[in-house]
Amino acid sequence: MKIRTTWLLIALMFLFLSAFSQGDSDPFSKRDEVYFSFPVRSKDELKSISHQISIDNFRNDTVWAYANKPQFDRFSAMGYKINILPHPGDGPGVVMRDKINLIKGSRTVWNFYPTYDAYVSLMYDFQAMYPALCQIETITTLPSGRKILVAKISDNVATNEAEPEFLYTSSIHGDETTGYVLMLQLIEYLLQNYGTDQEATDLVNNMEIYINPLANPDGTYYGGNSSVSGARRYNINGVDLNRNYPDPEDGEHPDGNAWQPETVAFMNFAGQHDFVMAANFHGGIEVANYPWDTWVTRSADDDWWIMVSREYADICQANSPSGYMDDLNNGITNGFDWYEVAGGRQDYMNYFHHCREFTLEISNTKLVPATQLPNFWNYNYRSMLLYLHQATYGFKGLITDQVTGEPVEAKVLLVNHDALNTEVYSTVLHGDYYRPVKSGTYTMEVSAPCYITQTIPGLTIADYTSSLLNIQLVPGAGVTTTAVSSITATGALSGGEVICEGSSPVTARGVCWGTTINPLVTGNHTTNGSGTGSFVSTITGLSANSTYYVRAYATNAEGTVYGDNIQFNTSCGSTALPFTENFNTSTMPNCWSVQASGSGANPNWTVSNTSNAGGSAYEMKSSYQNINPATTRLVTPPLITTGYAQLNLSFRHMLDAYGTGVSLKIQSSTDAVNWTDETWSVAGTSSNIPATVVNTIISNNLNSTTTYIAFTITGNLYQYDYWYIDAVSITGTSNELPSVNTTAVSSVTMTSAISGGNVTYAGTSAISARGVCWSTTANPDLTDDFTIDGSGTGLFTSILSGLSSSTTYHVRAYATNGSGTSYGNDVQFTTPCGTITSFPWTEGFENGGTIPACWTQERVNNSGIDWAFISGSGNSHPAGAHGGIYNACLKDASTGDNKTILISPPLNLGGILNPTLQFWHTQALWSPDQDQLSVYYKTSASGSWQLLMTYTNNITAWTLENLALPNPTNDYYIGFEGNAKYGYGVCIDDVSVTGTPLSLLVSPSEQTVSANAGSANFSITSNSNWTAICDQTWCTITPSGNGNGIITANYDENTTANERVAIITVSVNGIDPVIVTLTQEASLEKTLNLTLFIEGLFNGTGLNKAQNESGNQFAGNIADEIRVELHNATAPYALAAGPFTVGVSTDGIAQLSIPATFGSSYFIVIKHRNSIETWNNNPVSFSEATISYNFT
């Protein structure tokens, strides 16, 4: 066991203060930032520490760091031995100059620091003196008014040319100012030497160089614009800008702070450009720091980074005294090897912008004496120029459309080399690309949406050379890959979208996948249709806990194109019992996992090649970390515990102890998120626990397909050294009872809901009944309301009924077998509020001192208080409620202007006339402070509040108010807005809404009328406007009216053989309509119209009248008489009706009436005394009221 010194906070503060004289006892008074060092036992401690303070340097187990006061106060409590150091921003030998006279052709002696105003003027002087070569741009203007400026230097500076863009930036840490002045000198050097020095001329002619001398002006000039003395590391908001960028590993906000204005500005600036390479300058050590900072993984270009870093350091060493630029690995270091940085600008530019940026620490002293600045220029400028050259080396060229010649924005990937976003992209404007790379032979893949990917093998490049490779892409199909979802142990969903087809149709599309990057259709793939558009693909046959890559593809006659790669991991499949794990290899077993919670905590579980727990090597080891409080867990794979009453856990362990305040536990969970303590636990002491075998019981979170067991250490994680775990064995004891889970509650209404369950295990006998039970208390059982929903295992659905609105219920599934009943998990749900429909309605706030059901509160303008439900106002103004015990009251113990609205439940005022609000209130003056009450209404939940009345006077006793409620609707709300201003409070009680219910009576409810045309009246009794409609066209009615009245229904003749019904609906808005019916009888007879001419009487156009001895045999226009018979259609000689005797007019028309009961089809037979009988050709339908037939 190690020996450690525990520092009390008082001792820390003594050391802290002793580093300063009495006149400077508060190091935060000048710049709210302190610089200090402290020893650590291991570099492993830095990750958690870096989340609390800003680490500046780490060497030989000593950390140098910065902190603002809140950070320092938190860090001081961690127990480290802190050594307060002089702040680097107070560096000696600062010489300021408030005016710099640039002389063209004359070199400035840069042995000074410019004032802020002089710096701004100087930048614009460069532009004025060299307008064809230099352009000053403002990256942003900070809230302080200071600007972040950048100089663009190029031969055609106003034009964006097909040249590599390069960025130098300095002093993101405001007190690291050496690079600030060197960047100004570099600007002057390039401009002055253009046209006379070949190297400078070539660089300016062939590149677009951006130089930002000062990235944190608020930090550098924190002490004022006239001097850099007083500079600090952080920006004006106390944030380390070099920990404030999105991080490839730790996410968008690794430091826990919002993006600062400087960060946002540089992110936008990077997005507007296509920087090939960059460097950012720092101080405090002398070393070239190359990627990555955030993770141990090396860059794909690690050998190139070592080469350019070594070149920078070696050239500096060759042009400086011994001992310069030789820190760490003789002047260079991998960032993570030095110490981990999350949120750094270097990794941000490399990962998110594909720009090769590294960090140059160029002076041990952060703010060097001004007289030494020329020396640092001489040490560094040759290296700066050589690093600029590197952007012109490697593969480069133009990527264009083979058909149009237009530039194409394409990805340039070195196959089997690039990783973690080291690929590059051609520019949108010109299609130019630049790929610096170490010497070697490469295969290049060039791809772009809607173009055929080109693969170019055998490309060889040497160091410090360039290879021009222009590429013409052939238009083709384009496809994107959609995100992977629904990931299981064996499958997943993905898909894509074919965004273009190229010159021929897409004949196949889908996704392909594999365990290596860039899978092809020659491997696992789906086929999901053809043509353009989106598609969904089902990925199957995967292995649990494995990493896969998927990308969409589209194939046409030109070939196959692919979308982007998406990486995903399959979940772990659940493991059946018994389960054992002896940790026999040097890697953590599949599907085991580790967790950590607590600010800055790491899991800190590793596989150890030891046998301290008493088993065989290997074993799991948890290591201490200086975090308090925190928790770390070693978690088993998910286990199938369905049908087990308990689990039996056996394991070996050994604790290398240190002190008290930490506990060892066994926990269980069904989701690896919510954990339950099991019975075994041990409190840490200063005494070791030797190798021990533990046998314990797991009794929680069982009957699941995903039960997790965790070996947990929690509390002060500095109070132990190591905990070893080995030889884990888990068995189960079977359960005679069933296993059942409760399904989620859905379709919740005011009175009903749907739930159900899943019987996953029957137990030792068959399931005889299953269902759900519910109650307003937790864990309902069969003594409460329940359903019966079948028997057996499997899923079932249950309907809960008879619920009350605005009520919280608990529901559990149950399953019964011969051994008894088991219950599922308790699921809680709340029925929604019902709309108030019955009036008068009252609210007396008698709810035990809590807000009544369905009432809500709405704070106005950041109000800090809510209505309380108390007796009176809590004092004598008033002393008690108006009625009952409780009333509502809003009061504030300050003079703040706090407004909060107390909102009623929804009211259906559409069913009453003249709705009126009544309430009692008080608002006593506590001189001179007067509270106020405003009453509002709104006509829908999403509507705007409308003012009804405001009460501003002193009301000392309960007072009744009556307010008419305008614009009533079916979804109406009343709001009482209290404005508490330190008076005795705004109190209301006994709120009520009254009104006259709407009424509607229609009589009679039904009428029957004859087949003849006519009218019928219905009587209306109502106290409101009403409308009426009839659903039949043969019925017209009075459409509307007000109050009592008559509806007249006019109806046409019914000429059909069937009665008919008209439905008349009478409505009053706000209440249910009344429906009455009008029934019209069927016609009693049918009319048969015949047209015919009688032989012997026909005169060519009509009929002559039959004669007898007296002349015309028939009067009027009747020519003669005939007899008409109807014969059955299926038995023609069977008489169905008749004979009917009827007269025939001189124009050949005969009309007769027949009973309405004849509705089939018949033959019509005509008989006349002067001719044989005449039949029609085919049977005639008699379904209509009028039948016509022409015999002519």
For residue 1086, what pLDDT is reported? 82
Confidence at residue 787, expressed as pLDDT on a 0 to 100 scale: 97
Range 184-213 average pLDDT: 98
Number of Cβ within a 10 Å radius of residue 681: 14
Confidence of residue 19 (pLDDT cuts 50, 70, 90): very low
Reported confidence tier of residue 13, pLDDT bands at 50, 70, 90: very low
| Phi and psi angles of residue 1043, each rounded to the nearest 5 degrees, phi first | 70, -155
- Whether 1101 and 1147 have beta carbons less than 8 Å apart is answered as no
Catalytic (active site) residue 736: no
Cis peptide before 1039 (omega within 30 of 0): no
Q: What is the pLDDT of residue 1154?
A: 86
For residue 2, is it within any domain?
no
Q: CA-based diameter of the chain, in Å?
A: 161
Phi, psi values for residue 863, rounded to 5°: -55, 145
What span, in angstroms and rounded, lies between the C-alpha atoms of 240 and 172? 8
| Mean pLDDT of the 426-438 span | 98
Most confident by average pLDDT, 148-152, 453-457, 1093-1097, 1100-1104: 148-152
pLDDT at 22 over 70: no
- Residue 323: count other Cβ atoms within 10 Å of its Cβ: 10
* Cβ atoms 437, 464 nearer than 8 A: no
Residue 3: pLDDT over 70: no
How many CB atoms sit inside 10 A of residue 673's CB?
8
Question: Of the candidates 1046, 1064, 1080, which is a domain's last residue?
Answer: 1080
* Residue 3 covered by a domain: no
Segment 113-142 shows an average pLDDT of: 98
Give helix 198-206 / helix 373-390 axis angle, nearest 10°.
50
Pair 937, 1016 in one domain: no
Using pLDDT thresholds of 50, 70 and 90, give the confidence band for residue 602: confident
Q: Taking 90 as the threshold, does the pLDDT of residue 273 lie above it?
A: yes
Distances (CA, A) of 971 to 813, 916, 974, 992: 36, 16, 10, 17
443 and 546 share a domain? no
**Per-residue confidence (pLDDT) for residue 2, from 0 to 100:** 27
Specify the pLDDT at position 750: 85
**Which residues, 6 or more positions from 488, have their beta carbon under 8 angstroms from its beta carbon?**
570, 571
| C-beta separation of 777 from 821 below 8 A | no
**Bridge-based pairing state of the strands 1085-1091 and 1186-1190:** parallel
Residue with tokens 């085919």: 1178
Same domain, yes or no: 924 and 1063: no
Q: Is the peptide bond before 436 cis (omega within 30 degrees of 0)?
A: no
Report whether pLDDT(1185) > 70.
yes
Residue 1154, token pair as written in the block: 């027949």
- Write out the two tokens for 375: 């020396």
Contacts by residues 416-420 (CB-CB < 8 Å, ≥ 24 positions apart) = 416/443, 417/300, 417/442, 418/300, 419/300, 420/248, 420/292, 420/297, 420/299, 420/300, 420/351
Q: Are residues 671 and 794 in the same domain?
A: no
Whether the predicted pLDDT of 910 surpasses 90 = no
Phi then psi dihedrals of residue 494, to 5 deg: -145, -145
From its phi and psi, is residue 1171 left (phi > 0), alpha (psi between -120 and 50) or beta? beta
- Residue 762 falls within a domain, yes or no? yes
How far apart CA 524 and CA 510 sit, in angstroms, is 11
Domain of residue 953, CATH code: 2.60.120.200
For 183, the token pair is 């960047």
Q: How far is CA 1102 from CA 274, 873, 1092, 1093, 1094, in A?
A: 103, 106, 9, 7, 9
Does 255 reside within a domain? yes
- Hey, which of 169-183, 565-579, 903-917 has the most confident mean pLDDT? 169-183
Q: How far is CA 552 from CA 315, 410, 486, 493, in A?
A: 48, 18, 17, 12
CA dihedral over 329, 334, 339, 343, signed as positive or negative = positive
Sign of dihedral through CA atoms 597, 598, 602, 608?
negative
Strands of the sheet with 662-669, listed across from one edge: 593-597, 630-635, 708-715, 662-669, 676-683
Q: Tell whether the model's pLDDT for residue 52 goes beyond 50.
A: yes
Give yes or no: residues 1122 and 1157 share one domain: yes
- The percent of residues above 90 in pLDDT, for the chain, comes to 77
CA 1008, 1012, 1016 angle in degrees (round to 5)?
45
Contacting residues for 988 by C-beta, under 8 A, at least 6 apart: 887, 888, 889, 902, 919, 920, 921, 933, 976
- The model's pLDDT over 314-333, given as tens digits with 9 standing for 90+, comes to 999 999 999 999 999 999 99
Lowest mean pLDDT segment, chosen from 74-83, 144-153, 720-729: 74-83
User: How far apart, in whole angstroms, are the C-alpha atoms of residue 237 and residue 261?
Assistant: 10
Is 490 found in the same domain as 467?
no
In angstroms, the CA 958 to CA 974 distance is 20
Question: Is the per-residue pLDDT at 558 higher than 90?
Answer: no
User: What string of DSSP letters covers 993-1013?
Assistant: EEEEEP-EEEE-SEEEE-SS-
**85 neighbors 662 (Cβ within 8 angstroms):** no
Residue 115 CB-half CA count within 13 A: 10
- Walk across the sheet containing 946-951 and list its strands: 856-860, 898-903, 973-980, 932-938, 946-951
pLDDT, residue 25, reads: 58
pLDDT per position as a tens digit, 455-502: 999 999 999 999 999 999 999 899 999 999 999 889 999 999 999 998
Tens-digit pLDDT profile for residues 795-828: 999 999 999 888 899 999 999 999 899 999 999 9
| Helices assigned H by DSSP within 354-459 | 373-390
CATH of residue 604's domain is: 2.60.120.260
Count the Cβ atoms, other than its own, within 10 Å of residue 78.
Answer: 21
Model pLDDT, residue 50: 81
The token duo for 562 is: 């692919």
In a domain, residue 1175? The reply is: yes
Asked if the structure places residue 260 within a domain, the reply is yes
CA 523 – CA 958 distance, rounded (Å): 83
* Residue 262: its H or E element: helix 261-271
Q: Is the alpha carbon torsion for 612, 613, 619, 621 positive or negative? A: negative
Which of 400-414, 558-572, 667-681 comes out lowest in average pLDDT? 558-572
For the chain, the helix, strand and coil percentages under 3-state DSSP, each to the nearest 5: 15, 40, 45
Task: Find the domain containing 699 and state its range.
Answer: 575-734
Cα–Cα nearest to 725, from 662, 677, 664? 664
Q: Is 175 helix (H, G, I), strand (E, B) or coil?
A: coil
Statement to judge: residues 696 and 716 lie in one domain: yes
Structure tokens given for 910: 């559409």
- 11 pLDDT higher than 50: no
Residues making up the chain, counted from first to last: 1192
Helix (H, G, I), strand (E, B) or coil at 545: coil
Average pLDDT on 850-865 reads 89
pLDDT at 1085 over 60: yes
Q: What pLDDT is stored for residue 862 in this prediction?
A: 78
pLDDT of residue 626: 82
CATH of the domain at 746: 2.60.40.10
3-state secondary structure of 525: strand
Please compute the mean of the pLDDT values over residues 92-109 and round it to a whole number.
92
Domain final position from 1026, 1052, 1080: 1080
**Which residue blocks in 877-1022 are alpha helix, DSSP H?**
none
Average pLDDT, the chain: 92
Count up the domains in the chain and report the number. 9
Q: pLDDT tier at 1055 (50, 70, 90 boundaries)? A: confident
Indicate whether 247 and 374 sit together in one domain.
Answer: yes
Of 373, 390, 407, the residue at which a domain comes to its end is 390
1087 has which bridge partners? 1153, 1186
Same domain, residue pair 881 and 986: yes
Domain membership flag for residue 851: yes
Q: Are 135 and 189 found together in one domain?
A: yes
85 is written with which tokens? 């150091």
Please, what is the end-to-end C-alpha distance for the chain in angstroms? 128
Q: How many helices (H) and strands (E) are present in the chain, helices listed first?
A: 14, 81
pLDDT at 257 over 80: yes
In this predicted structure, the answer to whether residue 113 has a pLDDT above a threshold of 50 is: yes
Tell whether 565 and 579 lie within a shared domain: no
**Could you say which DSSP state residue 236 is in?**
T
User: Any idea which of 1036-1050, 1065-1079, 1157-1171 has the lowest mean pLDDT?
Assistant: 1157-1171
Please state the rounded mean pLDDT for residues 235-258: 93
The domain that contains 25 carries what CATH number? 3.30.70.250
The packing angle between helices 373-390 and 178-193, to 10°, is 60
CA 880 from centroid of its chain's CA atoms: 48
Is residue 1183 situated within a structural domain? yes
Of 361, 445, 619, 843, which is the active-site residue? 361
Do 640 and 521 belong to one domain?
A: no
3-state SS class at 267: helix
- In whole angstroms, what is the distance from residue 859 CA to residue 273 CA? 46
